[in-house]
Structures are given as C-alpha cells and as structure tokens.
Structure 1
C-alpha cells in the first residue's frame, strides 16, 4: 500500500514538472518569435534613400501604386 502511494506521488510530481517545462518552453519560443505585421508600401523617399528609383507605371496587381526598382526596396510597392 505504501509503495502505491509513493509511486502515485512520484507520477503526479513528474506530470506537474512536465507541465512546467512545456509551459516554459512555449514561453521561450513565443519570446524569440518576432511579431510580424502586415507589409506596408514604401514611401518614395524610402525607395530613393535605399538606392532605388520609383517606377510609376500602373500594374494590374497594384493599379494605384508604383514599384521600387533597385536598391534595398527592389520590387516593393511604393505608395
């Protein structure tokens, strides 16, 4: 009878310790994951400051925006 109680206590302790470890691992993973928001369009100044030029030719995908050509913002929308 005493062995069963000790065994039950050991199993309960191991289960609670396991929950604590998974919670800590989840919290660590969440802290290391960067928050990613929606991708916004560049301003014309950001495009030219990055070494690119703004192409205002309308495209079907972005009819009211331009596209940054070259530089660090190459291919991104310019609004």
Structure 2
C-alpha cells in the first residue's frame, strides 16, 4: 500500500510538471499579426481604438491584431 501511494504521488508530480512546461511554452508564443490590407482582403473589417488596439473582425484573420 505504501508503494502505491509513492507511485501515485510521483505520477501526480510528473503530470503537474508537464503542465507547467506546456503552459510556459504557450505563454511565450507570439500572437500573429496581420496588416489592414490582409484583413480586408481576407473578408474581414478592422475594428478597435488606438488605446486598445485594432483587430480584424470576421473573415480569414478574425480576432488577430492589426500591426
């Protein structure tokens, strides 16, 4: 019984460590940006404000920031 508890703790620790590594990699990934021309050519339109940034709405590049 004691060995089963040790193995369960080791598996849980390994799983949590794996999640930490995956989360760090995802957080460092750059958000893709498109130009205003790419947004409109892809069927979308530009929306947003200078304070909050501009984003493509609809079309092929929906949700991506405009550079």
**TM-score after normalising by structure 1:** 0.42
| Rg comparison, structure with higher value | 1
**TM-score after normalising by structure 2:** 0.49
